[in-house]
Structure formats: structure tokens, C-alpha cells
Amino acid sequence: MTNTAVLLIDCPDRKGLVAAVSGLLYQCGANILHADQHQDPEAGLFFMRVEWTLDEFDLPGFRAQFETLASQLQMRWRIELLTEPPRVAIFVGPHLHCLVDLLHRHQIGELRCTIPLIISNHTDAERLARFYNVEFHHTPITSQSKIQAEHEQLQLLNDAHIDLVVLARYMQILSPEFVQQYPLRIINVHHSLLPAFIGARPYHAAFQRGVKLIGATSHYVTEDLDEGPIIEQDVVRISHRDQVEDLIMKGRDLEKLVLSRALMWHLQYRILCYGKKTVIFD
Amino acid sequence: MTNTAVLLIDCPDRKGLVAAVSGLLYQCGANILHADQHQDPEAGLFFMRVEWTLDEFDLPGFRAQFETLASQLQMRWRIELLTEPPRVAIFVGPHLHCLVDLLHRHQIGELRCTIPLIISNHTDAERLARFYNVEFHHTPITSQSKIQAEHEQLQLLNDAHIDLVVLARYMQILSPEFVQQYPLRIINVHHSLLPAFIGARPYHAAFQRGVKLIGATSHYVTEDLDEGPIIEQDVVRISHRDQVEDLIMKGRDLEKLVLSRALMWHLQYRILCYGKKTVIFD
Amino acid sequence: MTNTAVLLIDCPDRKGLVAAVSGLLYQCGANILHADQHQDPEAGLFFMRVEWTLDEFDLPGFRAQFETLASQLQMRWRIELLTEPPRVAIFVGPHLHCLVDLLHRHQIGELRCTIPLIISNHTDAERLARFYNVEFHHTPITSQSKIQAEHEQLQLLNDAHIDLVVLARYMQILSPEFVQQYPLRIINVHHSLLPAFIGARPYHAAFQRGVKLIGATSHYVTEDLDEGPIIEQDVVRISHRDQVEDLIMKGRDLEKLVLSRALMWHLQYRILCYGKKTVIFD
Amino acid sequence: MTNTAVLLIDCPDRKGLVAAVSGLLYQCGANILHADQHQDPEAGLFFMRVEWTLDEFDLPGFRAQFETLASQLQMRWRIELLTEPPRVAIFVGPHLHCLVDLLHRHQIGELRCTIPLIISNHTDAERLARFYNVEFHHTPITSQSKIQAEHEQLQLLNDAHIDLVVLARYMQILSPEFVQQYPLRIINVHHSLLPAFIGARPYHAAFQRGVKLIGATSHYVTEDLDEGPIIEQDVVRISHRDQVEDLIMKGRDLEKLVLSRALMWHLQYRILCYGKKTVIFD
């Protein structure tokens, strides 16, 4: 893990914001590695991400002074240290392609996190979890047991000090109560190019409509189904030669790509949400 | 223009269809240049496109025998001669980028047609029409004059023996009565990746939703707005840095591409429609 | 496995080829599922792929009559039965992403084959091979041992009745003697958009040149390094923000996609090679 | 035109660069609209682009102080005012698709420039130039007259106070003497995905090689043919069904896209070159 910190800011736009933040960082000894700003002129908002090395940096001093500055400038902000990898739990259903993909990416160092926990309402993933030395929990779900199952899942997340939940084709809708426990800390992949084909069986709907491109979308989960802030989308061309099963197969590749990119960016603190939108500092 | 013919067939699938059609063509002296088939196993349908040279080919003889065969096999079919270029009218509004694009493509031989007529409810296109020696008609439209304007337009189309109408960002909704006069012979470009963002101002809607890709769609016009069979779609990546005007600008490139491809394929008789879907024999 | 057969043909183009082949198939009771033709007008060549169900089909009768026909029409041809899955060996080096990808695709039924054998000059893949119940052989390679190692590998392939060799980032150049044993039956993935960046370390070369897109290529291996017939290529956009390690990471996704597509098409007998080119009947 | 300024900087990376620049800008009253930085860790270089409004900004004061700062920090830099649109000359050969595209984009406000001059060694573009009220000069070129023609062209550029030359499929190689007059101020489009298929007839070479994607590249012209810094690249998928003329047709769309994007970015001072590479501040 690198010995760096990230500062994420959003606030009303005004003169001198970059100067104020970068000036204070310099004073405290920061060697800036990446700095990116964005203005939304329509909303009158300013966004900033700065990453710097912590060597020779006075973090407590910076924090103290920055708090005053941030309060004056009405900033929403957070400082994240990249010294500690976040702890990620993966929820999965019977389709394992995203899970297989994420676990290997993690193994070869693409994902800055630890994965202490896999949870599923099926048992298909158990052997794979064991192969990668990840704890596996089977929480079966029926319409009667759903509330109870979610309680159990939340307890598992809590016990494992989970920072982020990834729904890797989990196929179950989380209750608002569950979602509220992890605001903007649950990432889902939906197998369509949202907002097209919201809801169940999007590949079948795409096939019926006769579209020429299919897509997949990774997004934060909010209480409104399929309405959370979109993180990443991608598409692939299809033709009349493709049957529904071809769409499903081609779609799997998209799902892996958009979910893994979203996770990677989240773990590098590259994403800022505002309203239903995201700023991706790439 | 090439001296070739195209046969387009759709019918219930059964054994021996390719053999029957290609056998009869061979008997009548056809030199096949392209042949493509497609089966939709779910719908139980067979689709075929054959293109062959007319030199030394007995067209009347083929036609007579094929009619019998087609009737036995419950075929819907048509034979199109590529000896005569179709006559295309372009409808356009105040935004001329698709028109500029189509007229130059036509000039350098990309589009197998003549373009005798441009119709607009604005006058912006007049000078351009004159530059390319195309007749221009201004049919202003108000809520009161719409029916009258459509009558006038239909008369113009009729007088010019128009085979195909292209709506190159026309921005007016044609009445069902108009559409019925040109079934599957009106091509429109919609500035979103249908079925997402149906209706007006799709780029604004895409911006509000925070999508990461925007698209455009060319389709045949039917009586259901934005619901006609899709011919072509394409997308381009956007980011948080793109404002609505950037989406509109990037979208213009997509609109040109998907509309010109749709027109090119239609003019080569490469498109078969069934229900709300298209087979594109590329 | 489906009970179907595929006929692949290439021959000099002439009148009546489709009629002759489809007529004979119909006579012998074939129910055609897919038929696709292609003409290369410049080379004067005709290509055809037909797939049909073997139920109620007289295969020996067809074969006998077709041989006569094929000889008259100077056809190169082969009939492949999809009743038996081909046997595939995967060669891999220290980077396992393509192997992980292929093994899971195989497990969920995307690849019509068995995978009885994995061979590597490293031991990294051993545990993974065991997880998927595939035999693993470690054949270490030094400049001195290369000929000996290839002999051993060929023996392993022979003993396991291997039909196709897949080089899933194998990183070793096969000798011409090896390649000749499996003509057009070795598929490689090269981590550039060939013919750009031939040879070693293509991502480093791409980074140095400052390109804006990087690519990957799957191709048949011939005796000329990186010169074999290209099966599939894909690209991804990069920017100045991407360092070499980012190119390598983004490239891995391309490598998985183009290699798996090539393998899938080969196993469905969708590829015809002629000269340095491929026809992909999709 | 907007009343803004752009500052472009590259220099050895060190602590405090963002703070120093943004601090000075703030002092002089700048309202920053866009700020983007980039570090190349391998080369140890820092790059920055800032855009701010000139209202209430003390430009002479800033310039004076910044010169001192820049000299201390070994910066290469330039300040560009967006109050005056740059003057662009377009060179074109017999193929007009890029020219048609650029002139319409200019007309609808996509390109922040004036276009006072079109130069060609053919006369095909003359009528079009007149349509858009641009001065047209015909400078015929034979192997004997090339030096003389270039002298004439340089005189025309000089008389028209041209800031940037765009080669919109000009098809002639400029002499090193010509190129030296406009360092990093000549943009060309090459009809391949460089560095593949350098030189003449790249589409024919791509067809012969049997690639599955073709591309186009826009780049600055340097004395080394096809070796200048790449600005933008794009690709389109082709198949065995595409003949050379199809590649040429599909390629035209790519050429228009990559050339117009390069021009747009150059005119907004979004491009920084270093060595053979570009930073595109998008």
C-alpha cells in the first residue's frame, strides 16, 4: 500500500478555492501526486480531489487548519488515507462470472482492498471462496426469511468491519433499511444500459425491442431501485444473429468490466457523488 | 449503377428453402454475388437476401416460377432491381449537420439514390440545397397549419415520385395519416439510444440522469412515436466534464453516423423488418 | 452437445455453388440451421459454412456424393461433427488472467470443448488447474532445454489426443517444428493491435509512442512470428494519465476478450483461413 | 468569443507548483473556470492548464510576476487569450470529406477560429470554399514545381497571418523547411492507426493484412513523416465482408472525427506536447 492521502471536496464555487487548498497543503509539506478539479457551472458547484504523499507531511496540523477553512467555505469533505486497504464484502447469486473476475483481479493487485467476506443466498460460490481463502456465508432467502436474512447479513458485515459492499450479480433487492446502513457504500451492477430496461430480465427486454447495442451499468445502490448514481457503463454491438442467450453471454463481459472499474475507482477514492450524478476523477 | 437484382424473403422456416431458391436462381442463369440467410428459431421464421447479376438472366421466367414457389412456401417477398436508383426526399429542421453530411456522401457516391427534393419548415437549408442542385420547398408549420402543410408535403412527394423519406433532424412529429402513406419507407434519427430517453430533449434528460454514454438511433417511422424498428445505434463516452452543450455536440456525430448507415443499407435493400425488429444483411 | 454437423468450403467462385451444395444437403434430409456464404471478388474465391441437424440425415450417403461434387468444383472442404467436443490444451506463463477467464467460461458452458491439459514453464497455474480438475504439466524452459521441453510438450499433446493448442499469454516462442505439428490449430493472443508493436513489450512501446488507443489481437500461429491470420482484435482508449502499468492492466481485459472470442469461434468451426486472412462466419 | 485566458505550463516536478500558480492567479483576481494538472512520474515532469475569466483580472501585473516565478521554477509556459480566435488555413487534396465536415462545424460554432484561407493542389474545393466565403488558392504541384509551390503557400499563409495549418487529406508531403515555419502548428490526419501502416495506401495494406479493426490518427506534423505527436485516434470494426472500398468509406468517418477533435482541442489550447507525446487536457 502506498503512503498517501486523498482529500475529496465539494462546495459552492467561488474564487480562490484551488489556491486556498493547495496553499495549505504546501505549507504542511505535501508533495502532490494528483490534483483534479471540476466545476459544474449550472449547479454552481466546485469539486476537487488531491492525492499527496504523507512522508514529511504534518497530517494533524493540516487537519486542524483545514477544518476551519472548510467550515468557512461550506465544504463537504473527507480525508482518506491509502495506508489501510478498505474491507470489501461481495454478495453473489448463482452466476459467478463477476465474482471469479473480481477475486482474480484482487489476487494480482488490481484492487486496493482486502476481501474478508463473501455472502450468498446460494452455495455455488463456496468452493471458489475457499480457493481464494475468503470466508463464505450462506444466507438462504425466501419471501418469509428475507428480513431475518438481512439481519444476519448486516451482523456479518458489522463483525467483519466491512467498508464497502459489492453486489456481484446478487439478484436480490436489498431493503431500504439495509441500504441506509451503507449509504453510497454499496455498488451494484445492472445488466442494461440504464435508464433503459430497468427491472428484471433486461436482456430479454432488449431482445424483444430489437436494439443493436446492449449495455451494462455499475452504480451506487440507493433506496430507489436502479436509480442510484451511475459510476460506469459500457456497451457491445449485437445483431439479428444474436439470440437471448448470446445477449446474456456478451453481457457477462460487460458486467465484469463495469463492475470491476467501479470498484477500482471507489477504492482509490476517485468518485464524488452529488444528487444522482458522479464525478469520476480519472 | 450496377446491373443486379436483390430478392428479399421471409417465411415460416422449413427444410429445403435455400435449395429451392438457389436452385431456381441457378436454373435461370443467375450469378450470385451475395447470399445471406437468417433463422429466428424462437419465431420459427426464415429470412433470405440474395443479390445476383442480371446479365444472361431470365428475369420474367424466374419471376413466373418464383411466384408459384413463394405461394407454396408462404413467402413474403420482393424483387428489387438495382438498375434504377431510388428517389429520396430529405426533411430537415433548423439543424443542418445531418443534411450536410448526407448531401456530401451522396455527391461522392456513398448513397445509391437520387435526391430530388428537400423539404423544411425553416429556410436555413435553402442555400445548401441550391449548392447541391436539389429542389427546396419551405412548408412552414404552426399548430393550425400542420394538416395543411402535410397535405402539401405529400403532394410534393407524390409529384417527385419519392420512394423514401429521410427525416434528418426534422423535429416535427408526422401524423399517422402521413406515416401510412410511406410504410417502412420513412427513416428517422432519434438523438438517444432508444428505448432510453424517448421524446423531447433527450440530451438534457441524459445529462440530468448522469449517464456515462450517450447514443443515437436510426429507425423506421411507424405510428407509435420512437417505437419503430431500430436500424442502427451507436454511442460515445461522456464524462462529468461534459455539459449539455457538449452532449449535443458529441451527439451530432452519432446522429450523422447512424442515419447515413441506415440510409445506405436501405438503399442496398439490406434491411428486412419483422414486428418491431430488423434483420440487417451486412 | 448438439447433434449437428458443419460443412466448410472454399473454392474458385462460379455459378451454381450454393444451389449444388444446398440441393445435395436437402436431398439427404438436412434441416439447415445456419448457412453463410462469402465471395472475395478480388481473389475470385467462394467460401461457405453450413450447419444442419443430423437427425434423419444420411451422413454416409451425403459424404459419398459430396466428395464427387467437391472434386469437380475444386473445393477444399471439411465436415465437422459437433457431437464430439474438441480437446484443447492451454499453454500459460506466469500471468494467469487469460487462463482464469477461459476456465470459468468453460465451466459455465461458453466453450464447446474439453480441457484435459494445462502446460506451463512456471508453476503458478498448478493450484488453479487442480481447482478445475485439469491435468497440469510443468515443463521448465531454459535456452538449453527448449528443444527437449518442446519434445516433452508434443508427447503430452499427443498422449492426450489434443485437437487445439491455446497460448494464453505463454510468453515463449514455439519452434517451426512445433508449429508444423498443429497447422492452424494453435491460437495465440498478442498484446498489441497487430501489425503495430510486433515483438516483445508492446505496451512499453505503445507508451513510448504516445498512442491514444491500445489493442490486443488473437491469431493463428504460423512459422512467421506475429504474422499468422488474425482472428479478432479489440481496443481500449488510454490517455496521458495512463502509465505503463495502466496500459498493462487495461490490456489484460482486451487479451481475455479477444482470446476467448477466437477460441469460441474456432470451436464452433466458424473460421476459414486463406492466405494471411480469416473469414469469420458469425 | 469568451473573455478568458489559458495558461499552459510544463516544468520539472517539485513541491508547491499548484500552490504557487493558483496563489498568484488568485492574488491578481482570477476566477478559475478549469484547472487540470498532470505528472509524468517517469519523466519527472509537471504539466498544468488553467483557464480563468479576464474580468477584473490584472493581466499585466500577473504577467510580470509570473515571469519571475516561471524562471525560478524552470517552466516552459505560454499565456493564450481566448478573446481573439486563431486564424486557420486548410490544405486539401481531391478528397473533400474532411473539408466539408470542418467548414460546417465551423459554421455552427464548434471550432473557435476563423478560416480565412483554403489551399489546394486541385480545384475540386473551389466551389465549396466560395459557398462558405473562404478565399481559395490553387497551387498546382508537380515534382518540378514543389519548392516553388511551397514558397507561394508560405507567402499566402504569411499574408493571411495564419496561426495554424490543417492538412485535411492534403496528400502531399511538406518539406522540412515548410514544417519548420510552423512548429507544432500543423495538424495532419493519417488514415491508419499509427504506428501501423505508415506511408501510402494504408487501407490497402490493412486489407492485405486482414486486420479486424481499421483506424485513423490526427497528429502534429514534424520533420519525421507520420512520427509527430499523436493527438487523437479512433477505430471502426471491419469484417471479411469489407472490400478495400468499404475500408476507405468507413475510414472517411474516422478521419473526420479524429481531425475535427484534434482541431477543436488545439483551438481551446488543450494540448501540450513533450517529446513525441501529447497531454490532452479534456
The predicted-structure confidence for A102-158, as pLDDT tens digits, reads as follows 999 999 999 999 999 999 999 999 999 999 999 999 999 988 889 999 999 999 999
Average pLDDT of D102-128? 98
Nearest to D132 by CA among D106, D156, D110: D106
Cα D46-D47-D51 angle, rounded to 5 deg: 145
Q: Report the relative pairing of strands C87-92 and C164-168 from DSSP bridges.
A: parallel
Residue type (1 letter), A115: I
Please tell me the distance from the alpha carbon of residue A121 to that of residue A130, in angstroms, as a whole number: 16
Q: What is the pLDDT of residue B2?
A: 77
Residues of D in contact with C197 (CB under 8 A): 195
**C155 touches B at CB < 8 Å:** no
User: In the predicted model, what is the mean pLDDT of residues A60-64?
Assistant: 96
Quick check: C193 and D193 CB within 8 A?
yes
pLDDT at position D97: 98
Q: Which residues of D185-206 are buried (b: 16+ CB within 10 A; e: fewer)?
A: bbbbbbbbbbbbbeeeebbebb
Residues A41-80 as b or e (16 or more Cβ within 10 Å = b)? eeeebbbbbbbbbbeebeeeebeeebeeebeebebebeeb
Q: What is the pLDDT of residues C120-164, one digit of tens each?
A: 999 999 999 999 999 999 999 988 889 999 999 999 999 999 999
Minimal Cα–Cα distance from D251 to chain C, Å? Answer: 16
Beta-sheet pairing, A4-12 with A76-81: antiparallel
- Are the beta carbons of D282 and B253 separated by less than 8 Å? no
Q: Cell for A33? A: 501526486
Backbone angles phi, psi at D246, to 5 degrees: -70, -40
Q: Which residues of D touch B95 (CB under 8 A)?
A: 108
CB atoms within 10 A of CB D123: 11
C-beta atoms of D212 and C233 within 8 A: yes
Contact B249 D110 (CB under 8 A): yes
Q: Is B257 on the interface with D (CB under 8 A)?
A: yes
Distance from CA of D212 to the nearest CA of B (A): 15
For D260, the 3-state DSSP assignment is: helix
Q: What is the pLDDT of residue A173?
A: 93
In chain B, the residue whose alpha carbon lies closest to the alpha carbon of D110 is B249
CB contact at 8 A, C30 and C52: yes
DSSP label at D224?
A: S
Indicate which residues of C carry an active-site annotation: 226
pLDDT band at C242 (very low <50, low <70, confident <90, very high): very high
Q: Binning pLDDT at 50, 70 and 90, where does residue D1 land?
A: low
Distance CA C103, CA D223 (A): 50
**Confidence check: pLDDT of A46 > 80:** yes
Q: Which of D10, D101, D163, D226 is catalytic?
A: D226
The catalytic residues of A are 226
pLDDT band at A1 (very low <50, low <70, confident <90, very high): low
For residue D106, the SS3 value is: helix
Q: Do A210 and B196 touch (CB under 8 A)?
A: no
Rounded to 5 degrees, what are φ and ψ at A133? 60, 40
Q: What is the pLDDT of residue C224?
A: 87
Contact A110 C241 (CB under 8 A): no
Which of C11, C13, C14, C18 to probe the B interface (max B CBs under 10 A)? C18
- Give me the residues of C, 51-110, that contact D with CB < 8 A: none
Find the Cα–Cα–Cα–Cα dihedral B141, B143, B149, B153, rounded to 10°: 80
Nearest to C276 among D40, D196, D210 (CB): D210
Averaged pLDDT, D273-278: 93
Residues 6+ apart with CB under 8 A from B217: B189, B190, B192, B193, B194, B230, B232, B233, B258
pLDDT, chain C, mean: 95
* Cβ-contact D93, D120 below 8 angstroms: yes
CA–chain centroid gap for C248, Å, is 23
What per-residue confidence (pLDDT) applies to D200?
A: 87
CA separation for the pair B232, A212 (Å, rounded): 6
Cβ of C110 within 8 Å of Cβ of A249? The answer is: yes
Largest Cα separation within chain B, whole Å, is 63
pLDDT in single tens digits along all 282 residues of chain B: 579 999 999 999 999 999 999 999 999 999 999 999 999 888 899 999 999 999 999 999 999 999 999 999 999 999 999 999 999 999 999 999 999 999 999 999 999 999 999 999 999 999 999 999 999 999 999 888 899 999 999 999 999 999 999 999 999 999 999 999 999 999 999 999 999 999 889 999 999 999 999 999 999 999 987 889 999 999 999 999 999 999 999 999 999 999 999 999 999 999 999 989 999 998
Cell 538449453 -> residue: C144
Taking contacts as CB-CB distances below 8 angstroms, the residues of chain D near C280 are 239-240
Q: Which of A210, A212, A279 sits opposite B240 (nearest CB)?
A: A279
Measure Cα distances from A165 to A80, A89, A162, A212, B259 in Å.
18, 5, 7, 33, 42
Candidate list B224, B226, B242, B246, residue with the active-site label = B226
Q: Which of C38, C215, C243 minimises the CB distance to D241?
A: C38
D143 pLDDT band, cuts 50/70/90, is: confident
| Residue A39 β-bridge partners | A46
Q: B7 to each of B39, B48, B63, B140, D56, how far by Cα in Å? A: 16, 8, 11, 40, 71
The secondary element (H helix, E strand) that includes residue D198 is: none
Q: Is the peptide bond before B60 cis (omega within 30 degrees of 0)?
A: no
Q: Does residue A224 surpass a pLDDT of 90?
A: no
Burial degree of C56 (CB within 10 A; 0-12, 13-18, 19+)? exposed
Res. C25 pLDDT band, cuts 50 70 90: very high
Rounded average pLDDT over A226-241: 95
What is the pLDDT confidence band of residue A41, given thresholds at 50, 70 and 90? confident
* Mean pLDDT of the D111-135 span: 98
Chain B residue at shortest CA distance from C21: B19
- Given CB atoms, is B212 within the 8 Å cutoff of chain C? no
**How far does C59 lie from chain D, in Å, by closest CA?**
30
Tell me the nearest-neighbour CA distance from C125 into chain D, angstroms.
31
Distance separating alpha carbons of residues B149 and A155, to the nearest angstrom: 68
Q: Which amino acid is at B170?
A: Y
Give contacts of B282 with chain C, Cβ < 8 Å.
none
Predicted local distance difference test score (pLDDT) of residue C1:
57
Mean pLDDT of C228-239: 97
Of A101, A110, A131, the CB nearest to C131: A131
